[in-house]
Chain A
């Protein structure tokens, strides 16, 4: 996806302006009770204006009030339309990629070319170099490099292969080389791409739990203020009778309506849906697809994060970083044995041993091939690999490398025993956070290979950052406790679970959740799927298996595990923006009262030679009752537009602790919310009186 730096582009702006009017449709607006009431008020004042005009009484004041009420609704609609527009623009660019694709469907041994839309779950297709993958699927045969820039925006191709955790392919991406056989896993309309498009467009956007609660609060406040305004004419009536005024001097409906609109929380009411939509949008900008708004909100609440060691905290593979010969063993002998025993070991660790020996000792591989050899492949069962050499002299050399217990068995079966110092060396290596492998020849232990886990650069700072956000990190690894502790210390995680089996992740999440924590988890493998589904926020790597991607409630297109920090930040920003604008909206009411009430009540209890007693409440010294009311209404409308950028960008989040954040936001949006309208209304009033608008 293209990243846009500008908040609102020209086309989005123009489209949003049109949409603002379309959204005036009351049946759509009724979902937002606050703005719906404003619209009803606008209709009422407009009717009154035209009624007055046809009755021969033109009122510029009523006209302006009704115009600004319409503007208030339009501005709120505009905010929502802009937020939607930005999503739509992204969706459109995705949809362009989704043109007609021809799929090569395999049936038995035959192959047919059919339209991609006719593919169903379970079908098998073949994709060759240059083909666009027709739908989401799982590679069942082959390996290929795939260009996924259509969804990730990243142009470097990625490798996808059958089996393992990198077998998922996404419809719309392109095979660059080789040929793969794919089993389709989604029906048309339900593919990953379709899901992304509908999410971005906000077509299926549902209100999140906090948004629902906030809407209830706002509706409640609206009803309270509605009652306060609706009962006011009755109180005023009492005052009029007491002051000896006649009924014709009662408060007019446009004035009451103006007071109502100023008091109900229009600022937050108008911007609420824009905030929600733009939260989703900000996730997408960071190449994270959230399957629901609920997931984004939950991300803000996370306080425990479960991380796989391998691939997340450390670079995927352990690397040989040292050879430790036992006493009396020549280092070169050990190096030679280590090399020989690793020849058949195809794992990254095995390859790293060969590389290490070649780089540090002058041993050439061709020396070895001259001899007769049988290879013992590494297996999870034996946890050893090695080589059996038969020299011409008839001497057998059985060389093995493997975990301590595996070598123990090997040496003992050959009639030897493991010397005491081996255990010390193994323990020492483990305590450094490295993995020890023991090398033995026949019944003799030669030494220990140190495999080092390389902790990713900068990961420590990331965890420190998470800690400041109030999130505890738990590393989960199959390593023994000593190794795990050393890596945990190096990476700076808060806790670790060692010797973990895949199902332990699920157990761990459940136990944290039962303690009341909200748990986030990042995973990619198929065996992660249950844990991803159980976690409150499960982020699946886009490189992961289809099962993992479906289990999680977010997908990270960049497959970058540390992305979680940004995900949490977006979640928090979303809530903070809502809270800040609610506070601001409510705090605004104080000033609006001081603008409108004196203007309403100026005629009551007037004594000869005095101003009306309640005019003393006009502490802003506004020009006239009409200009005071109009200024408040104008301020109320303009503040929505002025806060649109804040709604779209979100309130900035710094991990400085909840109390400090609250203090800061309270000062800006609470205290600021009380002060700002006093200044704003006064300035507008000066302008109105200068232009003689009323």
Chain B
């Protein structure tokens, strides 16, 4: 192994770390309403409030806030479903695509509303520009903003003193979109266009290649959608091959920008959270644990990729990797996109070495908390923090408390439901798919690799990641329905308990710090949190992992590939 393999990853992670404080400070000031913004954005905000009849000073309790989240997302889902069903009647459809089948439309609607962007379809052969832009791209913004609203409500619940007010959902939503996601996307789109990402409404090109064959080259407004797919940790590619497509990710610099964009908002949210909690250290400890898990996962993956492969008598396989950027950038991308619940890919995860594939799987199975989706990563991490604080708090001999808030039966009940519901769906749906013909017939490969494909599919859906292990034909009624349900449960099965916790914590008083208080801003806590995440989060899946990637890895040592 060579040091040159590590310069790029180190440079990326360093850049993210350095830009976390300024970005976090910006987010914090937006949410606290302490930011000076250009007049036209402010005017747009006011206009939206007026048109929608939003009273922006109205405070919501957890129930109202939660109902707003659910109603808004349900409406978005219905709209997206109908757009697809009726796309043949709508304009901006130069290829003349027909109506999307109901199961695929359901799956896609759920997928984009839940910030999963699982794509059972190929964008360029299924969706019209109208659906891509007014349906999918819009949900790319709104699903990310929904994640932010929920973490805002939770952070207010944690930090407020005896208050039922968790803020105003509509205001949080509008601000997240107007002040963060749109400006960010504009900047990133321009940067990407500078690198050669296409942005047009042209008809697909028919060209004759050097070999003399006629080929259709899809066109479209890619840059704008790529920007938000990364920033919003959505991951739904404009084209089927996602960021492995030269029109979505043409240069090493665009590759760098895309990886940076995946990480930056979730990373900055930890800093903003630290500011909200009144101690930057609280934020940095969360950031540190996330970064540690990211780097560890990457280390295992890259080690596995670059090790000698006895079955093929070679090291560093390039099959299925992003050939233009090499193995390191493919593995780095795969680690980050699975850590961050993004799901954009620049290489096919099915082609990763078994252990690198397992890292991607584990990253998702932990519940997408290693930076995780925009907002959802942090609230998912806080769920683990509640469980850790509970166990650790008992160990120091006090009723466990987090930032002065007592963690009691209701918080633990909700936290364990959030963890349980995700594991349950992954385990049960995988079990069903691995014995039913509808499940197994879709897998491309046999043996442990085929099992990994099925396991990955449901993990990705529940984790709202959206990447696929590839190899599995997911566009069947069976998989469309099951993954659709899995995505819904993975998203709202966590949001609902989180909002209950937010409401309940808000009502509590804050206990002052004393020598007997258990601290959550030091490395002992970081260590314990990592332990709890790995043991509680991963132990559940250890048997399944044995039958998938681990078996495959050992068999590779015996010279067998799948």
Q: Does A572 make an interface contact (CB < 8 A)?
A: yes
Q: Which 9 A-B pairs have the closest CB atoms?
A: A470-B516, A579-B394, A572-B397, A220-B416, A579-B395, A234-B431, A470-B515, A470-B514, A613-B554
Instruction: List B contacts of A469 (CB < 8 A).
Output: 515-516
Which of these binds chain B: A145-153, A385-393, A599-607?
A599-607
Which of these binds chain A: B200-208, B335-343, B422-430?
B422-430
Q: Does B17 make an interface contact (CB < 8 A)?
A: no
Within A216-251, the residues touching B (CB, 8 Å) are 216-217, 220-221, 223-225, 227-232, 234-239, 241-242
Q: Does B550 make an interface contact (CB < 8 A)?
A: yes
Q: Does B324 make an interface contact (CB < 8 A)?
A: no
Residues in chain A within 8 A of chain B (CB atoms): 209-210, 212-214, 216-217, 220-221, 223-225, 227-232, 234-239, 241-242, 263, 297, 300-301, 303, 467-472, 514-518, 571-576, 578-580, 582-583, 586-587, 589-590, 593, 597, 600-601, 604-605, 607, 610, 613-614, 616-617, 653, 655, 657-659, 661-663, 665-666, 669-670
Q: Which of A231, A234, A297, A616 contacts B554 (CB 8 A)?
A: A616
Cα separation A223 to B413 with both chains bound (whole Å) = 13
Q: Which of A228, A234, A580, A658 contacts B518 (CB 8 A)?
A: A658
Q: Does B524 make an interface contact (CB < 8 A)?
A: yes
Contact B391 A209 (CB under 8 A): no
Residues in chain B within 8 A of chain A (CB atoms): 161, 387, 390-400, 404, 407-409, 411-413, 416-417, 419-420, 423-424, 427-428, 430-432, 434-435, 440, 446-448, 450-451, 454, 509-512, 514-519, 522, 524-525, 527-528, 531, 535-536, 539-544, 546-547, 550-551, 554-555, 558, 560
Chain A binding site: helix, strand, loop or mixed by DSSP? helix
Closest-by-CB residue of B relative to A237 is: B435
Instruction: List B contacts of A213 (CB < 8 A).
Output: 390, 407-409, 411-413
In the assembled complex, the CB of A69 is this many whole angstroms from the nearest CB of chain B, namely: 20
Contact A231 B430 (CB under 8 A): yes
Cα separation A657 to B516 with both chains bound (whole Å) = 6
Closest-by-CB residue of A relative to B543 is: A232
Chain B binding site: helix, strand, loop or mixed by DSSP? helix
Contact B524 A659 (CB under 8 A): yes
Contact B451 A662 (CB under 8 A): no
Contact A590 B539 (CB under 8 A): yes
Contact B398 A670 (CB under 8 A): no
Contact A582 B391 (CB under 8 A): yes
Contact A300 B409 (CB under 8 A): no
Instruction: List A contacts of B413 (CB < 8 A).
Output: 213, 216, 220
Instruction: List B contacts of A263 (CB < 8 A).
Output: 539
In the assembled complex, the CB of A271 is this many whole angstroms from the nearest CB of chain B, namely: 14
Number of A-B contacts (CB under 8 A): 235
Instruction: List B contacts of A468 (CB < 8 A).
Output: 515
Instruction: List A contacts of B440 (CB < 8 A).
Output: 238, 241
Contact A516 B512 (CB under 8 A): yes
Instruction: List A contacts of B522 (CB < 8 A).
Output: 659
A-B contact pairs, 8 of them (CB 8 A): A212-B409, A213-B409, A217-B390, A235-B430, A237-B435, A516-B404, A590-B535, A607-B555
Instruction: List A contacts of B430 (CB < 8 A).
Output: 231, 234-235
Closest-by-CB residue of A relative to B560 is: A607
In the assembled complex, the CB of A80 is this many whole angstroms from the nearest CB of chain B, namely: 20
Contact B397 A300 (CB under 8 A): yes
Say yes or no: A670-B528 contact (C-beta < 8 A), given A516-B511, A593-B539. yes
Q: Which of A217, A515, A666 contacts B412 (CB 8 A)?
A: A217
Contact A605 B447 (CB under 8 A): yes
Instruction: List B contacts of A586 (CB < 8 A).
Output: 391, 535-536
Q: Which of A235, A467, A572, A597 has the most CB of B within 10 A?
A: A235
Say yes or no: A613-B551 contact (C-beta < 8 A), given A209-B399, A597-B543, A658-B396. yes
In the assembled complex, the CB of A381 is this many whole angstroms from the nearest CB of chain B, namely: 42
Say yes or no: A658-B409 contact (C-beta < 8 A), given A576-B396, A593-B539. no
Say yes or no: A587-B535 contact (C-beta < 8 A), given A467-B515, A470-B516, A605-B448. yes
Contact A593 B542 (CB under 8 A): yes
Q: Which of B428, B440, B535, B546 has the most CB of A within 10 A?
A: B546
Contact A297 B516 (CB under 8 A): no
Say yes or no: A224-B423 contact (C-beta < 8 A), given A212-B409, A300-B398, A301-B398. yes
Cα separation A306 to B63 with both chains bound (whole Å) = 39
Instruction: List A contacts of B412 (CB < 8 A).
Output: 213-214, 216-217, 220
Q: Which of A221, A237, A613, A662 contacts B528 (CB 8 A)?
A: A662
Instruction: List A contacts of B540 (CB < 8 A).
Output: 224-225, 227-228
Instruction: List A contacts of B546 (CB < 8 A).
Output: 597, 601, 614, 617
Instruction: List B contacts of A227 (CB < 8 A).
Output: 423-424, 427-428, 540
Cα separation A241 to B448 with both chains bound (whole Å) = 11
Cα separation A303 to B516 with both chains bound (whole Å) = 8
Contact B524 A220 (CB under 8 A): no
Closest-by-CB residue of A relative to B556 is: A613
Instruction: List B contacts of A239 (CB < 8 A).
Output: 448, 451, 547, 551
Cα separation A586 to B540 with both chains bound (whole Å) = 12
Contact B398 A658 (CB under 8 A): yes
Contact B554 A214 (CB under 8 A): no
Instruction: List B contacts of A662 (CB < 8 A).
Output: 392, 395-396, 518, 524-525, 528
In the assembled complex, the CB of B560 is this many whole angstroms from the nearest CB of chain A, namely: 7
Cα separation A583 to B535 with both chains bound (whole Å) = 10
Contact B512 A517 (CB under 8 A): yes
Cα separation A228 to B423 with both chains bound (whole Å) = 8
Q: Which of B396, B450, B558 contacts A610 (CB 8 A)?
A: B558
In the assembled complex, the CB of B159 is this many whole angstroms from the nearest CB of chain A, namely: 13
Cα separation A575 to B396 with both chains bound (whole Å) = 8
Contact A221 B547 (CB under 8 A): no
Q: Which of A212, A514, A516, A666 has the most CB of B within 10 A?
A: A516
Cα separation A214 to B416 with both chains bound (whole Å) = 11
Cα separation A217 to B392 with both chains bound (whole Å) = 13
Closest-by-CB residue of A relative to B440 is: A238
In the assembled complex, the CB of A659 is this many whole angstroms from the nearest CB of chain B, namely: 6
Closest-by-CB residue of B relative to A580 is: B395
Instruction: List B contacts of A518 (CB < 8 A).
Output: 511
Contact A238 B547 (CB under 8 A): yes
Cα separation A614 to B354 with both chains bound (whole Å) = 14
In the assembled complex, the CB of B481 is this many whole angstroms from the nearest CB of chain A, namely: 19
Contact A220 B404 (CB under 8 A): no
In the assembled complex, the CB of A327 is this many whole angstroms from the nearest CB of chain B, namely: 51
Cα separation A518 to B408 with both chains bound (whole Å) = 16
Instruction: List A contacts of B555 (CB < 8 A).
Output: 605, 607, 613
Instruction: List A contacts of B391 (CB < 8 A).
Output: 217, 579, 582-583, 586
Contact B393 A579 (CB under 8 A): yes
Cα separation A616 to B411 with both chains bound (whole Å) = 40
Cα separation A238 to B437 with both chains bound (whole Å) = 11
In the assembled complex, the CB of B513 is this many whole angstroms from the nearest CB of chain A, namely: 9
Instruction: List B contacts of A517 (CB < 8 A).
Output: 511-512
Cα separation A651 to B547 with both chains bound (whole Å) = 40
Instruction: List B contacts of A238 (CB < 8 A).
Output: 434-435, 440, 450-451, 454, 547
Q: Which of B404, B411, B428 contacts A231 (CB 8 A)?
A: B428
Contact A221 B510 (CB under 8 A): no
Instruction: List B contacts of A515 (CB < 8 A).
Output: 512
Cα separation A574 to B397 with both chains bound (whole Å) = 7
Q: Which of B408, B448, B518 has the most CB of A within 10 A?
A: B448
Cα separation A666 to B395 with both chains bound (whole Å) = 8
In the assembled complex, the CB of A564 is this many whole angstroms from the nearest CB of chain B, namely: 14
Q: Which of A297, A589, A657 contacts B399 (CB 8 A)?
A: A297
Cα separation A301 to B400 with both chains bound (whole Å) = 9
Instruction: List A contacts of B509 (CB < 8 A).
Output: 514, 516
In the assembled complex, the CB of B436 is this many whole angstroms from the nearest CB of chain A, namely: 9
Contact A589 B395 (CB under 8 A): no
Cα separation A659 to B518 with both chains bound (whole Å) = 6
Cα separation A580 to B431 with both chains bound (whole Å) = 34
Extra contacts besides A220-B420, A605-B555, A614-B547 (4): CB < 8 Å: A209-B399, A297-B399, A574-B397, A613-B558
Closest-by-CB residue of A relative to B535 is: A586
